[in-house]
C-alpha cells in the first residue's frame, strides 16, 4: 500500500548576541532588536507555512547556549533570558560554537536551511579565555598573538566550509568592525552596521533584521536555501511576483530619464522638461540608503541580456512588502537583480542625483 508523505521546509536559525560589559548601555535596545527579529520570523513562517526553529547564544568571555532549536512560535521575549555581565568579547569563539553546534542537527528528511545571525557592539578580544584562563589580549608577546591567530584560523575554516544551504550574517557597530567581520569570512552582503547609541539607529536595526528575516524566508519559497546578500534589497524579485502583486503603470504616466549630471532633483526634473511636484520623482536605488516608512517604491523591468531597462514600470501598495521592507524607517543597500531595478520616492527638492543612474518621473494626468 502506497502512502503520501509531507515534504516541508525547515529553517534552523541561530541568534548569537553579545553580553560583554560594553553592551550594558545597549541592553534594552538589543532586547528590542532581537524580539522584533523573532517576531518577523514568526509572522513570515506562519504566512509561508514553514517550520522555523531557533537557538539562542549569549557571549562575553564565555559562550552560553540559552535556547536550543526551539519552535520560534514558542520563544519568549529575550528580556527574561538576556543579562549583560562585565566580561570581555569572545566573538570568534561564539560564532564558531554556533556553527559547530548546528552541524549536529540531522537533515535526513525535509528541506533544511541554516541561518546564523551574530549581534555585537565590539571587537574580538577573548576567544579561548574559557580554555586558557586568560584573554589573549592579556597574554604577553608571541603567545597571545598565537592564540588569536589560532582562533582566526578556526573562524576562517568555519565560514569557508559552510555548505550552500547555510547563511552566516553579523550586525556590527561601525565600518572598522565591518572590515574585521569580512576578514573573519562573513560575506559583505551579510554584514550590517547598527548604531546602538541612538534611538534612530535602533529603529533602523529593527527594520534591517525584520527585512532580513522576511527576505530569508521568502527566498526559501523560491528555492534559495542560502544567501550571501541577506542585507541587500531586491535581488530576489521574480517576474511572477511582480506581475501578480504590483500594478503595471500606463506608459504615458511616467518617464525614465537618464541622469547625466549631479544636480538637485527638482532642478534636474524641470531641466528635463517636466513639472516638479513633491513626491513625483523616484531615484534609482544604487547605494546604501535610509528609506522612511511612508516612501513609495517602484520597480522597472530590465532586459537580463543587456541590463537596459525595457520601459515597463510596476508599483503599488504591495511593493514594500514584496521587497521585504517594514512599515518603519530602515536602511538598505541594493541587491543585484538582472531583471529589475528598484526606485524609491523622493520628497526632497535638493537631493543630489547619482550620474549613471536613471530617474523615474511620474507625469501629471
Question: Three-class SS of residue 254?
Answer: strand
CA gap 86, 188 in Å, rounded: 30
Query: Considering only 46-55, 184-193, 232-241, which range has the smallest mean pLDDT?
Result: 232-241
Do 248 and 212 have their domain in common? no
**Mean per-residue pLDDT of the chain:** 89
pLDDT of residue 174: 87
**Percent of the chain clearing pLDDT 70 (strictly above):** 97
Q: Are residues 90 and 183 in the same domain?
A: yes
How confident is the model at residue 2, as a pLDDT?
A: 56
Q: Where are the beta strands (DSSP E) in the chain?
A: 9-18, 51-59, 63-71, 111-119, 166-172, 191-193, 232-233, 247-248, 254-258, 281-284, 289-291, 297-302, 309-315, 330-334, 340-346, 358-362
Q: Is residue 234 over pLDDT 70?
A: yes
CA 41: distance to chain centroid? Answer: 13
Lowest mean pLDDT among 59-63, 172-176, 268-272: 172-176
For 313, residues 6+ apart whose C-beta sits below 8 A from its C-beta are: 248, 249, 254, 256, 298, 299, 300, 301, 343, 360
Residue 274, number of CB atoms within 10 A of its CB? 18
**Domain ranges, residue 38:** 9-230
Asked if residue 169 and residue 67 are part of one domain, the reply reads yes
Q: What is the Cα–Cα distance from 267 to 350, expressed in whole angstroms?
A: 8
Residues 86 and 158 in one domain: yes
232-233 and 111-119 beta bridge pairing: unpaired
Per-residue model confidence (pLDDT) at position 237: 78
The last residue of a domain, from among 230, 249, 270: 230
Render pLDDT for 141-160 as a digit per residue (tens, 0 to 9).
787 788 888 999 999 999 99
Could you count the other beta carbons within 10 Å of the beta carbon of residue 48? 15
3 lies in some domain: no
Report, as an integer, the average pLDDT of 293-308.
91
Whether 2 maps to a domain, the answer reads: no
Domain boundary among 230, 259, 292: 230
Do residues 77 and 225 both lie within one domain? yes
For position 365, what pLDDT does the model report?
66
- For residues 251 and 301, what is the distance between their CA atoms, to the nearest angstrom? 13
- Tell me if 4 is assigned to some domain: no
The reply to whether 15 falls in a domain is: yes
Q: Considering 170, 198, 230, which residue would you say is the last residue of a domain? A: 230
The yes-or-no verdict on residue 71 having pLDDT over 70 is yes
Does 199 fall in a domain?
Answer: yes
Q: Do both 197 and 80 map to the same domain?
A: yes
Q: Which tens digits make up the pLDDT trace of 183-213?
A: 999 988 889 888 877 777 777 788 788 878 8
Give residue-wise pLDDT tens across range 85-104: 888 899 999 999 999 999 99
The three-class DSSP label of residue 53 is strand
Tell me whether residue 1 is in a domain. Answer: no
**In the predicted model, what is the mean pLDDT of residues 239-265?**
93
Place 3 in a pLDDT band, splitting at 50, 70 and 90.
low
pTM: 0.77
Q: Report the SS3 class of residue 172.
A: strand
Residues 6+ apart with CB under 8 A from 273: none
pLDDT at 332 > cutoff 90: no
Q: Does 174 lie in the same domain as 27?
A: yes
Alpha-carbon Rg for the chain, nearest whole angstrom, is 23
Answer yes or no: is 60 within a domain. yes
Is residue 226 domain-shared with residue 243, that is, in the same domain? no
Residues 78 and 139 in one domain: yes
Q: Among residues 208, 210, 214, which one has the least CA distance to residue 193?
A: 208
* For residue 330, pLDDT beyond 80: no
pLDDT at 5 over 80: no
CA dist 359 and 349 (Å) reads: 14
* One domain, residues 247 and 163: no
Q: Are residue 284 and residue 311 in the same domain, yes or no?
A: yes
Q: Is the dihedral of CA 211, 230, 32, 295 positive or negative?
A: negative
Q: Are residues 299 and 190 in the same domain?
A: no
Render 296-349 in DSSP notation, one character per residue: -EEEEEE-TTT--EEEEEEE-TTHHHHTT--SS-EEEEE---SSEEEEEEE--S
- Copy the grid coordinates of residue 102: 548546528
CATH number at residue 186: 3.40.50.410
Cα gap 110→318, rounded to integer Å? 31
**Structure confidence at residue 132 as a pLDDT band (50, 70, 90):** low
For residues 255 and 358, what is the distance between their CA atoms, to the nearest angstrom?
10
Q: At what angle do helices 27-48 and 199-221 cross, to 10 degrees?
A: 20
How many structural domains is the chain composed of?
2
Give 196-203's long-range contacts (Cβ < 8 A, gap of 24+). 196/25, 196/26, 196/29, 196/30, 196/121, 197/25, 197/26, 200/329, 202/29, 202/32, 202/33, 203/328, 203/329, 203/330
Is residue 174 in a domain? yes
Cell of 284: 534609482
Please give the share of the chain, as a percent, with pLDDT higher than 90: 53
Cα 365 from Cα 345, distance rounded (Å) = 18
Query: Is 239:310 a contact under the CB 8 Å cutoff?
Result: no
pLDDT band at 53 (very low <50, low <70, confident <90, very high): very high
Amino acid at each position: 500500500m502506497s502512502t503520501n508523505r509531507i515534504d516541508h521546509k525547515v529553517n534552523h536559525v541561530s541568534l548569537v548576541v553579545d553580553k560583554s560589559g560594553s553592551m550594558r548601555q545597549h541592553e534594552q535596545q538589543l532586547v528590542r532588536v532581537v524580539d522584533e527579529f523573532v517576531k518577523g520570523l514568526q509572522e513570515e513562517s506562519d504566512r509561508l507555512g514553514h517550520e522555523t526553529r531557533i537557538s539562542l547564544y549569549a557571549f562575553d568571555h564565555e559562550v552560553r547556549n540559552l535556547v536550543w532549536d526551539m519552535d520560534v512560535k514558542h520563544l519568549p521575549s529575550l528580556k527574561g533570558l538576556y543579562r549583560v555581565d562585565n566580561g570581555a568579547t569572545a566573538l570568534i569563539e561564539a560564532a564558531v560554537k554556533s556553527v559547530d553546534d548546528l552541524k549536529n542537527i540531522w537533515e535526513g528528511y525535509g528541506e533544511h536551511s541554516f541561518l546564523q545571525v551574530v549581534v555585537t557592539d565590539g571587537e574580538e578580544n577573548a576567544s579561548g579565555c574559557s580554555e586558557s584562563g586568560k584573554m589573549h589580549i592579556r597574554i604577553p608577546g608571541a603567545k597571545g598573538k598565537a592564540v588569536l591567530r589560532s582562533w582566526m584560523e578556526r573562524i576562517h575554516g568555519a565560514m569557508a566550509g559552510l555548505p550552500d544551504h547555510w547563511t552566516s550574517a553579523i550586525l556590527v557597530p561601525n565600518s572598522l568592525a565591518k572590515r574585521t567581520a569580512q576578514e573573519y569570512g562573513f560575506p559583505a552582503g551579510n554584514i550590517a552596521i547598527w548604531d546602538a547609541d541612538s534611538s534612530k539607529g535602533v529603529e533602523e536595526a529593527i527594520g534591517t533584521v525584520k527585512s532580513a528575516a522576511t527576505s530569508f524566508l521568502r527566498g526559501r519559497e523560491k528555492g534559495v536555501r542560502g544567501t550571501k546578500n541577506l542585507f541587500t534589497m531586491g535581488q530576489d524579485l521574480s517576474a511572477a511576483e511582480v506581475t501578480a502583486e504590483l500594478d503595471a503603470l500606463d506608459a504615458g504616466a511616467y518617464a525614465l530619464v537618464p541622469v547625466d549630471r549631479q544636480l538637485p532633483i527638482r532642478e534636474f526634473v524641470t531641466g528635463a522638461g517636466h513639472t516638479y511636484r513633491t513626491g513625483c520623482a523616484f531615484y534609482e536605488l544604487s547605494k546604501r540608503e535610509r528609506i522612511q516608512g511612508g516612501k513609495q517604491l517602484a520597480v522597472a523591468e530590465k532586459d537580463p541580456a543587456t541590463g537596459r531597462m525595457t520601459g515597463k514600470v510596476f508599483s503599488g501598495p504591495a511593493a514594500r512588502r514584496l521587497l521585504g521592507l517594514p512599515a518603519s524607517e530602515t536602511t538598505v543597500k541594493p541587491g543585484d537583480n538582472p531583471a529589475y531595478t528598484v526606485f524609491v520616492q523622493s520628497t526632497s527638492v535638493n537631493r543630489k542625483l547619482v550620474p549613471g543612474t536613471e530617474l523615474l518621473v511620474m507625469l501629471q494626468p
